[in-house]
């Protein structure tokens, strides 16, 4: 884990012009989440679509802050309001109770004057990418898609709720956790469920890597032009 955190810090060397702040957000049930918010410095007076970005590992304060700087700043420069919540229990946002916290956080953030109503993007790194997929499976109609950079999905995972849903997936070819060895299984798990998948292995890249913003940026533009419509069963 120490090596992975070092990679986060390395990726923060060149940062765009963004505004970052940490806030305490009180949810409807009284739960308080600490959240790093990142917005573009040049577009602070506009309403922006929201991306909930979740860090890897335990999703603690240090990892969440690094994620907001490294990856969140890139989303902010492309017109998104970025929220990186700190996990309350060191599990990123895995599990039903944590999944619900993200839904409640979105409700509170969309009350703000600088956050757009409507669909939200879910994104995450490692354990955060897994969290994003879990949350999307609960209510896919609420989201533009998932950017999982990286994540894995087992052959026995029920992804049927994500039929027709856009997922952007990248895994490093030199992943220290051997996730590249599970790329084919993950792709099969998602495509067999009808996910609209944009997936690739990044040759020589570690578990946490510099983002392919040309590729990811094009995908982000596409999902905003053609928002997902829930399939009725």
CATH number, position 131:
3.40.50.1820
Whether residue 231 is contained in a domain is answered as no
- Tell me which residue range forms the domain holding 213: 2-225
Q: What is the pLDDT of residue 17?
A: 57
- Burial of 36 (C-beta count, 10 Å sphere; 0-12/13-18/19+): buried
Whether residue 104 is contained in a domain is answered as yes
Whether residue 153 is contained in a domain is answered as yes
Q: Which residues contact 24 (CB under 8 A, 6 or more apart)?
A: 32, 33, 34, 35
Neighbours of 78 (CB within 10 A): 17
Q: Which residues contact 180 (CB under 8 A, 6 or more apart)?
A: 171, 172, 173, 174, 201
Give yes or no for a contact between 62 and 2, defined as CB atoms under 8 angstroms apart: no
Quick one: which H or E segment has residue 92? none
pLDDT, tens digit, for every residue of 72-105?
A: 999 999 999 999 999 999 999 999 999 999 999 9
Whether residue 84 is contained in a domain is answered as yes
Whether residue 233 is contained in a domain is answered as no
**pLDDT greater than 60 at residue 5:** no
Domain count, the chain: 1
pLDDT, tens digit, for every residue of 184-201?
A: 999 999 999 999 999 999
* pTM score, whole prediction: 0.90
Whether residue 18 is contained in a domain is answered as yes
pLDDT, tens digit, for every residue of 160-175?
A: 999 999 999 999 999 9
pLDDT, tens digit, for every residue of 134-153?
A: 999 999 999 999 999 999 99
């Amino acid at each position: 884990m120490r090596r992975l955190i070092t990679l986060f810090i390395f990726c923060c060397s060149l940062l765009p012009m963004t505004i970052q702040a940490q806030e305490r957000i009180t949810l409807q049930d009284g739960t308080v989440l600490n959240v790093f918010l990142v917005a573009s410095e040049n577009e602070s007076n506009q309403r922006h679509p929201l991306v909930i970005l979740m860090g890897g590992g335990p999703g603690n304060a240090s990892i969440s802050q690094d994620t907001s700087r490294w990856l969140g700043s890139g989303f902010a420069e492309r017109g998104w309001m970025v929220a990186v919540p700190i996990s309350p229990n060191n599990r990123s946002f895995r599990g039903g109770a944590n999944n619900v916290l993200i839904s409640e956080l979105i409700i509170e953030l969309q009350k703000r004057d600088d956050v757009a109503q409507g669909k939200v993007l879910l994104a995450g790194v490692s354990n955060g990418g897994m969290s994003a997929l879990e949350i999307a499976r609960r209510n896919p109609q609420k989201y533009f898609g998932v950017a999982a950079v990286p994540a894995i999905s087992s052959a026995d995972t029920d992804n049927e709720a994500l039929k027709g849903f856009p997922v952007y997936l990248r895994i490093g070819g030199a992943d220290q956790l051997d996730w590249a060895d599970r790329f084919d299984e993950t792709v099969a798990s998602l495509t067999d469920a009808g996910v609209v998948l944009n997936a690739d292995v990044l040759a020589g890249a570690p578990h946490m890597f510099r983002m392919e913003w040309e590729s990811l940026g094009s995908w982000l533009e596409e999902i905003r032009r053609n928002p997902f419509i829930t399939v009725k069963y």
